Structure 1
């Protein structure tokens, strides 16, 4: 086991514990069983998979082999057989088990191991093997280098912030003799464990560096299948994203067209409102303003015959400017005071006499009355010439 694997081992153990403690393993096992049941019988064995543990026990010079979960021994041979014969007997015991799924465990009798119950902090869950090494001198009469050991977490309740664990240790001399015999027979062990009924207890007293390394040819296939599934998933997500993008682009084009139409409608509405406002403005101005022709008619009826206008102006505010000549310009104020169209008549500047015409030249202004109070002079009134 290289340094990288040793460094990652606590993280891997933590992940394995989290996986085993979750409901996912049970669900996946049930789901896989249901799916296998749908396959033809010849294919079900191919897809069964999973590790198959075969347990070896040495007793009175005889080797007993049984499959985990099966109470009956499937093979029995003596220490006196040579390596080839022992391997043949083991092959008979594991017949029908795929070599990739086969796992061998040497199971020790309970009287050959020392077991101690411990209460540990929950933080020790990630480093149980190291904690076992620290506790070895206090809990057993052995040193760490004298025993094979393992520390397992026990199910059940424990005080808050604590966890229950069991330290299991056995002298190396007890195990090394059996391991050496099996190694000489060409049989490698995956674990050293204890019996728990017809199954293994679930610990491994072997140190990590002595565990057998399995090369799983299926791993490449599984990695390829996982990669293919991930690639297909990415392709599906990409296709979905592409379809959504196309749909969004189509909708955006439709929205742009509708926005352009809406802008045209808004422009037409604005033009219509401007036209309505303009027509309303003109109508209001017409109703609020006095017609110039009425003013001219009123002035023509009022100013005397010896008076004529040279200039007549009306600005947007209704201010009327009159410039002209009269024999008696001062009397024009009294004449215009009776007008119903003009008010505030007044001279601007000084009245001067024109030597050429011997008339008084004047400039005066007035203010148009509001239409409600201004009424044009009667058409039957006498008219004077306005020049």
Structure 2
């Protein structure tokens, strides 16, 4: 015999474990509450249609009769009763007593609680993933039956995380008794989806004693539609994610362009700021230099005002910082020191060296050393008295020296 497993066998174990964990998680309860909340917002006709789609057809043996009832029928609704043991075929009677819509519903055979045996088992928590197989091995130890003598179902009743154990409710019924009942329902049993137990409230408990191989083979149209919708949802989500990603990329590109434009603009502003700073610094430098540089024209005017231009002319005027040196020729060379001392701009006036006569001009050559004091706001004087008199022709070189041009006529 080949040991190769088919695809359903290969996925049965993982699928069973996944189903078990899903059933034990809070997700089903949340989805049920959410679904009921959404369903309550729908119109009444829609709610009735959805309830009809989820309805079941319950079959319950009552002596020699079989009672049929929809799970969504009102409590006071009369069930459909089929006689068992009559000459009429049960399957034909079932078809004649029910509508096509009722026959399309999932069928559940309900057994009385007295026909089953219940046990509470304590097992390791690790057995939860393969619970049915583990319980099958425990049947002959926990019950007076062997696994091939009963139909059983089990479900987890409680988990103890501290002790890592689970409590399992085991429900079983003798195989022979259930087979006999299913044989009596020939024509109906082939369409059964489950064999359940009637609870104290008259509702099914949710277990299923019917073996998987004997359950009705129904089409998977709803499952396929659900899978198709799920796949479509995944595709739409992927498309939405891709579109969102593209939008973010476009927004990032636009933002990058704006940042680049702002960067260029900021660079231009910085350049303009640097130019403005350089211009301001240059203007300040010129202003400082202008304020620190003695006004030579004022000095020349002051010397012209203090020295008699008719008898004196200058050959050289040197100003270095506050040190002033004046060289020239005059008929009153000895009196020039006294004439310059009252000036507020010229202090510490003294002759530098001796006075020497010049035989060519008939004047005395002199050199005067003094300290120059820069006036605050300049000296305002009236020089109109010298307007008609010849003035010394003086040049001011780049070093601040004033020199008389050669060939200047002697002031008389």
Q: TM-score, with normalisation over the residues of structure 1?
A: 0.63
Q: Give the match for residue 200 of structure 1.
A: 204
Mapping for residues 117-128 of structure 1, pairs under 5 Å: 117-120=120-123, 123-128=126-131
Q: Give the match for residue 25 of structure 1.
A: 32
Q: Give the match for residue 218 of structure 2.
A: 214
Counterparts in 2 of 1:73 and 1:152: CA distance versus 1, 3 Å: farther
Mapping for residues 214-253 of structure 1, pairs under 5 Å: 214-236=218-240, 246=250, 249-250=253-254, 252-253=256-257
For 1:38 and 1:186, the matched residues in 2 are separated by: 33
Question: Is the CA contact (8 Å cut-off) linking 2:90 and 2:187 kept in structure 1?
Answer: no
Mapping for residues 143-162 of structure 1, pairs under 5 Å: 143-154=146-157
Q: Give the match for residue 281 of structure 1.
A: 285
Q: Give the match for residue 44 of structure 2.
A: 37
Are positions 1:136 and 2:139 aligned together?
yes
| Aligned partner of residue 97 in structure 1, secondary structure | helix
Are positions 1:73 and 2:76 aligned together?
no
Q: By how many angstroms is 1:272 displaced?
A: 0.8
Q: TM-score, with normalisation over the residues of structure 2?
A: 0.60
| Aligned partner of residue 9 in structure 1, secondary structure | helix
Q: Which of structures 1 and 2 has the larger relative contact order (alpha carbons within 8 angstroms, sep 6+)? A: 1
For 2:14 and 2:241, the matched residues in 1 are separated by: 36
Counterparts in 2 of 1:190 and 1:227: CA distance versus 1, 3 Å: same
Give the alignment's Cα RMSD to 1 decimal. Answer: 6.0
Q: Give the match for residue 345 of structure 1.
A: none
Q: Give the match for residue 54 of structure 1.
A: 57
Mapping for residues 307-386 of structure 1, pairs under 5 Å: none
Counterparts in 2 of 1:144 and 1:79: CA distance versus 1, 3 Å: same
Once the two structures are superposed, what CA deviation does each residue of 1:134-173 show, in whole Å capped at 9, x if it has no partner? 4323321122232211112347x98965554321112221
- 5+ long unaligned stretches in structure 1: 297-311, 321-385
Question: Is the CA contact (8 Å cut-off) linking 2:94 and 2:188 kept in structure 1?
Answer: no
Q: By how many angstroms is 1:33 displaced?
A: 4.4
| Aligned partner of residue 87 in structure 1, secondary structure | helix
Q: By how many angstroms is 1:254 displaced?
A: 4.5
Greater Rg by CA: 2
How many aligned positions are there?
372
For 1:285 and 1:164, the matched residues in 2 are separated by: 102
Counterparts in 2 of 1:231 and 1:222: CA distance versus 1, 3 Å: same
197-206 or 282-291: bigger deviation: 282-291
| Aligned partner of residue 29 in structure 1, secondary structure | helix
For 1:165 and 1:131, the matched residues in 2 are separated by: 11
Q: Give the match for residue 271 of structure 1.
A: 275
Counterparts in 2 of 1:217 and 1:94: CA distance versus 1, 3 Å: farther
Q: Give the match for residue 18 of structure 2.
A: 11
Question: Is the CA contact (8 Å cut-off) linking 2:190 and 2:215 kept in structure 1?
Answer: no
Q: Give the match for residue 400 of structure 2.
A: none
- 5+ long unaligned stretches in structure 2: 1-7, 301-317, 324-393, 395-403, 405-412
Q: By how many angstroms is 1:235 displaced?
A: 4.8
Q: By how many angstroms is 1:288 displaced?
A: 4.4
Q: By how many angstroms is 1:277 displaced?
A: 0.8
Q: By how many angstroms is 1:274 displaced?
A: 0.8
Question: Is the CA contact (8 Å cut-off) linking 1:75 and 1:92 kept in structure 2?
Answer: no
